[in-house]
Amino acid sequence: MNNDKLFRQALQRQNDRAANMKMPDDMEQRVMKSLKPQATKRRWLYPISAIAVAACVLLLIMLGIEQKHQPKQLPVIVEEVTEPKNEVQENTLKVVEKDNVDKSQTSHVKLANITREVGQLHTRRLKSSQPTKKSSKAVKVEEPLLAETEPMPEETETTQEYLPTEPDPFLLAAAFSQDIRSRGEHLYQEVAQMINNQ
Amino acid sequence: MTNDDNIIIERIRGGETSEFAQLVKRYGPSLMVFVGRIVAVQEDTEDVVQNTFVAAYQHLNDYDSQKASVSTWLQRIAYHEALYHLRKRKRQVMLPLNISDDIPDELPEDTTAQQLDEAIQQLSPEDQMLLQLFYFDGRSLKEIAYITGKADDSLNREVSRLSSQLHRIRQKLSIILTHRNHE
C-alpha cells in the first residue's frame, strides 16, 4: 500500500486522540459497586430459587389435600311423589341423595319440602273460585301437613332450621313464577269465557 | 504478569471479589485507549469500560488462559461492548454498497493528512478497529480474529475473513478519498 507512512501517521493521530482519554479515579469504585448486587445476587440466587420451588410444590400439595377433604356440593335430585287429591296432607317429597348426608343438609331438604308445598297450595288456591280468600280448607291442609313432617332432631330445638329467618331465594322465585303462571292461566280462562259470552 | 493475572482470577473465582479491583487498576487505562479509538467521547468511553469490567466479572468462568491473555480477553469484551454501545447510538457510515474487485486499494497521490483522517472516521467502527489492531498495534490475524470474532465462529474462518476485509477497507478508503478529490 503506497502512502504507507501517511496511513500509519493517520492511525497514530487517531490513537493519540484516544490516549487523551484518561481513566477516572473513581472507576475502581464504580466497577466494584456495580459488582456488589451481582455478587449478592449470585450468592443468594440458588437458595432463594430452591425455597421458591419448594414453596410452590408445598402449595400444590396443600391445594390437592384441601380439595380432597372439601365437602362436595351434592347434586340433589328431587322427586315429587303425588298422592290422591283428597289426601293433600299426605303429599310428601322424596329426596334422592347421591352421597352421604349430614343432619344439616337433611334440614335443608325439609325446608325445600315445606317451601314447595306452600307453592303448590297457593296454586291450588288460585284455581278455586275464590282465590283471594284464604280458605280454611288451605289452613286445614297446612295444619295436618305440618303435623306430618318428620320430627325435628333433638339437637335443634328451635325452629330455625325449618323456618329460617331468610327464605331461600331460589325457592321463592320458583313459587313466584308458579303463581304468575297460574294467574296467567286463570286470566286466559276469563278472556275465553268473555269471548264465548259475546 | 500473566501468572499474577491467573492467580488473581483464581482468587476471584474462589470468592475473593475484592481482588477484582486489581484487574481494574491494571487494565483500565489501556482499555480506555482501546475503546477511545472508536467511541471517541470521554463519558461514553468510561461507560463502555465500566460495562466491560462488569461483563468480565460475570463471565469470569469462561476465561481460558490457554486461548488468550487476560489483556486480550478484556479487549475482546471491550470491542463488543463498544460496538453494542455505538449501535444503540445508531452511528451510520455513508459508503457505496458495491465495491468491485477492480477498485484499487491504494490511496490517491494527493491525499492530505486531514483528508485521510476524515476518511478513516467515515469507516465503520469495526473497520477502524481492524486497521488499528493490524497496522498500528501489529497484532496477528489470529489474535485479531479472537478479539473481533463471535463466540461461535471458527478462528480459522475468521482469519480468512479478516484478510479479505482488510483489502475491502483499503478499497473503501480509496473510494472515499477519490470522491472527495472530485468534489
Mean pLDDT value across residues A17-46:
81
Q: Which of A11, A24, A34 sits opposite B136 (nearest CB)?
A: A11
> Is A109 within the bounds of a domain?
yes
For residues A56 and A64, give the distance between their C-alpha atoms in angstroms, rounded to a whole number: 12
How distant is the Cα of B153 from the closest Cα of chain A, in angstroms? Answer: 28
Q: pLDDT at residue A53 above 90? A: yes
Residue, of A110 and A69, whose pLDDT is higher: A69
> Is A97 within the bounds of a domain?
yes
For residues A181 and A126, give the distance between their C-alpha atoms in angstroms, rounded to a whole number: 10
Mean pLDDT value across residues B117-136:
89
> Is A29 within the bounds of a domain?
no
Task: Identify whether the C-beta of residue B102 lies closer than 8 Å to the C-beta of residue B171.
Answer: no
The predicted pLDDT at position B183 comes to 57
Q: Which of B50, B57, B106 sits opposite A27 (nearest CB)?
A: B50
CA angle (A123, A124, A128) in 5-degree steps: 120
> By CA distance, what is A13's nearest residue in B?
B117
> By CA distance, what is A39's nearest residue in B?
B17
pLDDT range class, residue A69, cuts 50, 70, 90: confident
Q: pLDDT at residue A73 above 80? A: no
> Is A7 within the bounds of a domain?
no
pTM of the prediction?
0.56
Q: pLDDT at residue A145 above 50? A: no
How distant is the Cα of A11 from the closest Cα of chain B, in angstroms? Answer: 6
Q: Cell numbers 473513581 label which residue?
A: A26
Task: Identify whether the C-beta of residue A76 lies closer than 8 Å to the C-beta of residue A99.
Answer: no
| A107-116 exposure pattern, b = at least 16 Cβ within 10 A, e = fewer | bbbbbbbbbb
**Does the distance separating the beta carbons of A9 and B40 come in below 8 Å?**
no
> Is A33 within the bounds of a domain?
no
Mean pLDDT value across residues B92-118:
71
Query: Does B116 lie at the interface with A, CB-CB under 8 angstroms?
Result: yes
Average pLDDT along chain B: 85
Residues ≥6 apart with Cβ < 8 Å to A25: none
**Does the distance separating the beta carbons of A27 and B49 come in below 8 Å?**
yes
> Is A118 within the bounds of a domain?
yes
Q: Please tell me the total count of domains within chain A.
A: 1
| Burial category of A131 from C-beta neighbours within 10 Å (exposed 0-12, middle 13-18, buried 19 and up) | middle
Residue, of A68 and A24, whose pLDDT is higher: A24
Range with the lowest mean pLDDT among A125-139, B109-123, B137-151? A125-139
Q: pLDDT at residue A154 above 60? A: no
Mean pLDDT value across residues B151-176:
82
**Does the distance separating the beta carbons of B33 and A31 come in below 8 Å?**
no
Q: pLDDT at residue A2 above 60? A: no
**Which chain A residues touch B111 with a CB distance below 8 Å?**
3, 6
**Which chain B residues touch A34 with a CB distance below 8 Å?**
50, 53-54
Tens digit of each residue's pLDDT (9 = 90 or more) over B25-74: 999 999 999 999 989 899 999 999 999 999 999 999 999 988 899 999 99
Identify the structural domains of chain B with CATH numbers, from first to last: 2-88 (1.10.1740.10), 113-182 (1.10.10)
Cβ neighbours, 10 Å, residue B37: 23
> Is A193 within the bounds of a domain?
no
> B113-119: long-range contacts at Cβ-Cβ below 8 A with a sequence spacing of 24 or more?
B113/A6, B113/A9, B113/A10, B113/A13, B115/B177, B115/B180, B116/A6, B116/A7, B116/A10, B116/B173, B116/B177, B117/A10, B117/A13, B117/A14, B118/B180, B119/B173, B119/B176, B119/B177, B119/B180
Q: Which of B42, B54, B120 sits opposite A21 (nearest CB)?
A: B42
Q: What value of ipTM does the predicted structure carry?
A: 0.81
> Is A121 within the bounds of a domain?
yes
The predicted pLDDT at position A123 comes to 72
Across the A:B interface, residue pairs with CB atoms under 8 Å apart total 99
Mean pLDDT value across residues B127-137:
90
Range of the domain at A177: 85-187
Range among A132-141, B23-32, B96-105 with highest mean pLDDT value: B23-32
Cβ neighbours, 10 Å, residue B73: 23
Mean pLDDT value across residues B71-96:
81
How distant is the Cα of B48 from the closest Cα of chain A, in angstroms? Answer: 11
Average pLDDT along chain A: 70
Q: What percent of chain A has pLDDT over 90?
A: 13
Range with the lowest mean pLDDT among A82-96, A113-127, B123-137, B145-159? A82-96
pLDDT range class, residue A172, cuts 50, 70, 90: confident
Task: Identify whether the C-beta of residue B104 lies closer than 8 Å to the C-beta of residue B172.
Answer: no
Reference B163, options B146, B141, B136; nearest CA is: B141
